[in-house]
Amino acid sequence: MAGFARLIEYLWKYWRRYLLGGLCLVATTSLLMVVPWWVRGAIDVLERGDPHSELDGYALWIALAAVGGGVLRGVSRSIIFNAGRNVEYDIRNDLFAHLEKLPLGYYQSQRTGDLMSRAVNDINAVRMLLGPGFLNLVNTPLYLVYAAVFMLAMNVRLTLAVGACLLLLALVFGGFRDRIRRASLRVQRQMSRMSAHVQENLSGMHVVKAYVQAEPQTARFSELNHEYQARSMDLARVRGLINPLMLALHGFTVLVVLWYGGWLVLSGQTGVADLVAFIFYLNVLAWPMAAFGWMISLMERGRAAMERLEEIFAVEPSIADPESPVALADKERGLEFEHVSFAYNGAGNGEAVLRDISFEVPPGRKVAIVGRTGSGKSTLTHLIPRLHDVTSGAIRLGGVDIRSLSLEELRGAIGYAPQDPFLFSTSIQENLKFGDAEATEQEVRRVLDVADLQSEVEVFPEGIDTRVGERGIALSGGQKQRATLARAILADPELLILDDCLSSVDSQTEHRILHGFENVLKDKTCILISHRMAVIKEADEILVLEDGRIVERGNHESLMRADGVYAQMYRRQQMSDELEEM
Amino acid sequence: MNATDPQEDISGKAYDLALALRLWQFIRPHRKVFFLSLLLLPVHQLFNLVQPLLIKAAFDAVGAGDGFTLLTTGVLFGVALLAEAGAFFFQYYLAMLVAQRCLADLRIALFSHVQRLPMSYFDRNPVGRVMTRMTTDVEVLQEMFAAGAMNLVADLVLIVAIVSIMISLHLEMALVSLALMPFLLLAINVFRIKARQTYRLTRTRIARVNAYLGEAIPGMAVIQLFNRQAKSFKEFDDLNRDHRDAIQRSNVYEASLFSMVEAAGSLSIALLLWYGGGEVLQGVVSIGTFVAFSEYIRRLFVPLRDFSNKYAVIQAAMTAAERVFELLDTPVEVPGRAPAPAAMMSAATAPAGAMPVGSASAAASPPPAASSIIEPSRGAVEFDDVWFSYRPGDPVLKGVSFRIEPGERVAVIGATGSGKTTTIKLMSRFYDVDSGVVRVGGRDVRDWDLDSLRRHMGVVLQDVFLFSGDILSNLKLGNPDVPEDRIRAALRNANAEGFVRRLPGGLQAPVRERGNNLSAGQRQLLALVRMFVVDPEILVLDEATSSVDTETEFLVQGAFEKIMANRTCLVIAHRLSTIRNADRIVVFHRGVIREMGSHTELMEKGGVYYRLHQLQFQEAGGDTIPPDALDAATDP
């Protein structure tokens, strides 16, 4: 079973609790199992017509065992179930920590809803395995051993008859195991699909509304829902059979004891007291037997869930710290791309997105990248903070291959303002402090000012403490972009990457920001993507990207002289501006 | 990133009965199966309760040395067993059938309700929380059915039946063995009160864990870029630990009650021996009766012991139901007071499902327009002294009035946050105005059937959202009847043929969640193609071309001209080039309209627009613009 080793690890971590809980459980069960034996003694007394005092003794013992067993049972259940909850907590934390290590490429190939379903539902199923599952796993065999010992002490042949019945029960059970496992796996898979659909629908609600998509979306959901219903009924059919079967088999065992044991009593081979004790033992066994079905489905569910979790845990963080990271030299650091090629694996068809890209950004210089949609501009910027790793070639920061640096140092040196602004549902200030957790409120206000957001934030009811809603939904597109820019500036990085990060901002604001920026930027190395030529042309070097290749490079003047793709793009924008004059 | 919210507060009010009644509304359609399942319960129990009597008879037969009676009693016992097992299976199966059917109904009801919630709801509620309502909470209700929690009433009947049988067997012995019952019931009641609180707390806290995950997973790249892993982990750990602590407390309650009930079972046996033993000695009762009593005590304590479990499940279910119904009770967008004027439904844009809602109040609305397109006198779109704020006290639009005539092309410009995007949201009625009126086709948008209103408007939003599936399904957008050649024509018009052809699989190229395997520009291009497919009467473009590079935009521009011809258009753009062909220009500034008129008029006027234009020209000329000049343009 995949993930079994991990499960043992968690159990091991809490072995003291499990041991203590287990010991209490053993004590509880011991006390419980001795009760029928005393009942037998009492009946014996009754049969023989002995004095009442001896009977009172048995009654007292039973009462004491009941109270003691009750207390121990409470303790053992609390300890074991809570240990299960501790493991649940640990797994969820570990999963989160693991997810934090996985690269962007992983998230591009996974659905958020599916990951969430695993982090919530599957972990819960594992928890059931380690709480109630563990308890029954210890208890059931213990019950059986005790019952066997006491029964054998009374009557071997009757015990063998009972044993034969229980064997039958175990056989029936084996048949169900696999069917339940498969059925519940299908139910869980379908649940995941359904969750993913809901997640996507909710995230895209504005589109659903704008395009009047409620009906087709509901129709699709309805399909998934019906499929889920059908799969759940498949499971219910199998699971529903188990309990009645267990009940019937248990009853059948009682019947065997009545008939065979009755005959034994009638033929004088055993006493009525033994018969009563047998019935009592079977009664004690009734619960674990009835719960067997539940326990098996619980174990199967837990196993399937652990496998699904292991699928995530097994994903090696393909982008991780090197074994012995090199420290960045304490000097001005330029950036260098050397014959870099890149292809998405899994996402897309593996075709190269970037081919043989080489360029250099000396410290403090600005390089602009232009190119048509899908030419690979954003992908190129993703490679620098190692959101993806190059397929071949190398990227160097301050002369050091970025793969030799610790991720923390590399990313700490980079301020990245992405094209798609992503904010968290906390306050504006907290979002900005992503860049620098120790930043003072004054510094936050300063970068807001640089990003030209200060005046707008001021009119918000709670100023910089205004919560921005999920993904910053309470802000306009431009505000979000400027907030992500401010976040990047607050980090005060040496290398700033602006990936068309002001596309939703009008050109004058963009220009104002970039000019106000000059103080901030003055000795920073900067990579700039924009579709606005007025912004581009001021860069020290301009790279023109086409189909993942650099087709032209140079500064504005030289590119204009060269009269190639760049000049054409530039003239086109200029032309459209001139058209306005007419 | 902490997911606290006043909405998640714990209120201890018990609406259980009201909730049960509402749940009943979902069971009602399947009531025949439900009742059949309920009917099988007493059958199942009857065959169960007869068994101790048969055991007693068997023991009495052994005592009397009657082998034949032992044999026949055993046969009867076997029959009772089979009948019990059969009834049990069908009862469970039918209960699950009802559960699955009515929860499937509930899920659909939830899903379609959520589709109709206003956008403001989604502004306030994280996706993770809504998800929990729609999946986890409904699952909890299913647990209630599965755990046989619906049988609580039947359990009560069972307890009464057992007590009656015990009394009829031997009154005094019955009283003795039941002596512990009052204490037990008291304990159960104490537990019930404690548990109610902890269960609520638990569910609230797991919802927070969910909400956090729902945000952290899509935002993981940001967390990594800013080296925030440790801090995010700490936040997650806090939420996770809070949840664990709450549930561990409830575990202790549960374990206490469970063990109390179990102990009471054994104690009762002790009492029975202590008292009943004397009776046996005196020959008043038989050993068979004693065994029957012990059997009944066991059967009596099973529902009591399971009560704590069932109660836990019911509590969880009621809390879940409360949340689910709260979501179902969240007011939806008002669907509109009258059907859309039939005339506005051009053949291309009106799918079959456009049913008017709320036609009951149609009489109060103006009669539908005549057969021509929109009456020119009415204007296609009209804002009449519109005030609007997302948050109270923070108006985004302050008395905006303007009008777009049918077929007119209006460009809206202004700084970010000046209220441009909000106008679109009000036109499509994502939000309702605080005061004033927004009219489309001469009619208050609140009088429109929402769906037909939106079908008339083609909106390209700032953030282009694609659904997972493939390119084709995104272009067809849920309408499988769109002919292939219409898609091809749209691709041609948007100059996107080449781009789609280059994708692996072409039109069948996979689109992942949110379209995140495509670049922002590619997504926008597809959004434009989508517009050509939808072919709406009113076209609304919100910075649609802002992320598309100049090269692509130049190609698309011609196509825009085509789609905008003879169509009412509202264009929000930041570049003057995009609006050069507008009939009229509306200049927004901080929620008010500063200027309005044609390009020529505004240029002559020499106001804000003129200055903006001059700046853009200078820029194109290659001059660097002093920042204070820009400030002067927008902030005179």
Question: Among B26, B234, B230, B257, which residue's Cα sits nearest to residue B138?
Answer: B26
pLDDT the model gives residue B13: 45
The reported pLDDT for the residue numbered A86 is 94
Are B224 and A407 within 8 A, CB to CB? Answer: yes
Give the one of B51, B478, B516 whose C-beta lies nearest to A216's C-beta: B478
Q: Which residues pair with A496 in a beta bridge?
A: A415, A526
Please give the pLDDT value at position A517: 74
| B287 inside 8 A of chain A by CB | yes
**Element containing residue A525 per DSSP (H, E):** strand A525-529
pLDDT per residue as tens digits for the range A42-55: 888 887 776 667 88
- Do the beta carbons of residue A182 and residue A72 sit within 8 Å? no
- The nearest CA of chain B is from the CA of A234 a distance in Å of 10
- A471–B215 C-beta distance less than 8 A: yes
Cβ–Cβ pairs < 8 A, chains A and B: 547
- Residue of B111, B291, B516 with shortest CB distance to A218: B111
Q: Comparing C-alpha atoms, which of A115, A130, A239, A117 is closest to residue A183? A: A239
Other Cβ atoms closer than 10 A to A416 = 27
Q: Do A512 and B630 lie within an 8 Å CB cutoff?
A: yes
Which residue of chain B is at minimal alpha-carbon distance from A278?
B291
- For residue A355, the distance in angstroms to the closest alpha carbon of chain B comes to 17
Neighbours of B187 (CB within 10 A): 16
The ranges of chain B with pLDDT < 50 are 1-14, 338-378, 545-547, 618-636
Task: For residue A1, give how far its alpha carbon lies from the nearest alpha carbon of chain B (Å).
Answer: 27
- Closest chain A C-alpha to B361 CA, distance in angstroms: 23
Q: What's the pLDDT at B49?
A: 93
Q: What angle do CA B563, B116, B425 make, to 5 degrees?
A: 45
Task: Report the pLDDT value the prediction gives residue B194, as an integer from 0 to 100.
Answer: 79
Q: Which of B234, B389, B550, B616 to mutate to test the interface with A (most CBs of A within 10 A)?
A: B550
B435-440: strand order across its sheet: B394-404, B381-391, B435-440, B443-444
Complex ipTM over 0.90: no
The CA–CA distances, whole Å, from B609 to A67, B599, B634 equal: 88, 8, 9
Test A437 with B231 for CB contact under 8 angstroms: yes
Residue pair B93/B85 in contact (Cβ under 8 Å)? The answer is: no
Distance separating alpha carbons of residues B494 and B472, to the nearest angstrom: 15
Cβ–Cβ below 8 Å for A374 and B521: yes
Please list, in sequence order, all residues whose beta carbon lies within 8 angstroms of the beta carbon of residue B502, skipping any fewer than 6 positions away. Answer: A374
Extract the residue ranges of chain A whose pLDDT is less than 70: 1, 50-52, 293, 330-331, 345-350, 506-508, 572, 574-582
Q: Quick check: B237 contacting A, CB < 8 Å?
A: yes
Q: What is the pLDDT of residue B32?
A: 93
Cα distance between residue B533 and residue B478, in whole Å: 12
What interhelical angle do B520-534 and B484-493 show, nearest 10?
120
